[in-house]
Amino acid sequence: MLKSIYIVTLLVMSVTRSEQAYEDNLDYQTVASGQVSEQLAQVWQAPGAEGAPWVLMKPDSESEVYLRFIQAEDPGNYQPMKTLGWNAVEIQARNPDRLAKELDSRQFEIIGQPAFLTDKENIRAMQALGPDRELLYFTHVIDPAQSSFNIGTAQSWVDRVFIMVLGTADLGATKAYYQEWLGQDISGPWPYRITVLSRAWDKPVDSMYDLSIAQLQEAFLIEIDQYPAEAARREKGSRGLPFGPSMVSFRVDSLAQAAAKAGRAPVVIDEAPYRGQSVLLLEGPSGELIELVGPSD
């Protein structure tokens, strides 16, 4: 079973631009930078990624949940909520209303004003597109004890990623994959109104979509959304990785089950932020890249 979200990797057109935008607006801090090594490119089965500039950032709370930006050469067919795979990065924030007023409109485009997500009025969130049109949710969990899931709440102005949203063409197949390959429990599906998804597809705002939730061992979730049938599989560009929200790295206690099914041995990576941990890459049913990070022994 997955323990926690560790790294969210986004392919962008300029790591320098993204680094500046996230530092200026979200108080994220750079903790490491460099170029993708040959070893890591091999683990990702993406030889075109070797040498690509990258920047690793973490929130002001000092939580060890990272955003990693890798510089791409082209965006391919990426469109937020119009292509399959990882689609939204949900980040804890203390005050989405104030954040909506303070985000630099030259760097972030608000596409959903702050609003309560449930009738209990316990979770308030806004949605914005980042410098490369990556979809970001900024969410305030007012009282974690009132939530049906273990998700925690922000410990800084803008804190860690706590939910990743996956757009899938086949919710049933995706649930089966995460259960079989990762031993991950999945609840649902339930019909749910996703306003930003409806707007992206020019559908009525009260349209309903099937949604399932994977609760990780710690205070993190994966939300799995059934996308419209017209949603395209995201292309891997010259880097060999999907543009936008590209890959999610999860901490696990053991890589043995997934490695046996994949027929590949995990590889020990010494560079930041792995620092001697073992890494194994999987590709899910909708083309989402899943990096498992665990003990090296």
List pLDDT tens digits, range 5-26.
999 999 999 999 999 999 999 9
Mean pLDDT of the 180-201 span: 94
The tokens for 140 are 């305030």
The tokens for 250 are 């999860």
**Is residue 231 in a domain?**
yes
Which of the four pLDDT bands, split at 50, 70 and 90, describes residue 259?
very high
**Is residue 262 in a domain?**
no
227: nearest Cα among 242, 209, 246: 209
Query: Domain with 181 in it: what CATH number?
Result: 3.10.180.10
**Is residue 112 in a domain?**
yes
6: nearest Cα among 69, 84, 68: 68
End-to-end CA distance of the chain: 18
Which of the four pLDDT bands, split at 50, 70 and 90, describes residue 120?
confident
116: nearest Cα among 136, 143, 152: 143
What local confidence, expressed as pLDDT, does residue 73 receive?
Answer: 96
What count of Cα atoms within 13 Å lies in the side-chain half-sphere of residue 50? 10
**Is residue 89 in a domain?**
yes
The per-residue pLDDT of the chain, averaged, comes to 96
Portion of the chain with pLDDT greater than 70, in percent: 100
What local confidence, expressed as pLDDT, does residue 104 receive?
Answer: 97
> Cβ neighbours of residue 89 under 8 Å, at least 6 residues apart?
8, 10, 67, 134, 135, 136, 137, 161, 164, 165, 245
**Is residue 150 in a domain?**
yes
**Is residue 267 in a domain?**
no
List pLDDT tens digits, range 21-62.
999 999 999 999 999 999 999 999 999 999 999 999 999 998
Mean pLDDT of the 217-238 span: 97
Mean pLDDT of the 195-212 span: 94
- Sheet strands side by side (includes 187-193): 109-116, 123-129, 135-141, 85-93, 158-168, 221-226, 208-215, 187-193
**1 has a pLDDT exceeding 90:** no
**117 has a pLDDT exceeding 90:** no
CA-to-CA distance for 224 and 272, rounded, in angstroms?
Answer: 29
**Is residue 10 in a domain?**
yes
Would the pTM count as exceeding 0.95?
Answer: yes
Residue 297 vs residue 45, higher pLDDT: 45
Structural domains of the chain, count: 1
Residue-number span of the structural domain to which 102 is assigned = 2-237
**Is residue 193 in a domain?**
yes
**DSSP symbols for 235-282:** PB-TTSSBSEEEEEEEEES--HHHHHHHT---EEE-STTTTTEEEEEE
Mean pLDDT of the 236-252 span: 97
Mean pLDDT of the 86-94 span: 98
Yes or no: say if 174 and 283 are a contact pair by the CB < 8 Å rule: no
Which of the four pLDDT bands, split at 50, 70 and 90, describes residue 119?
confident
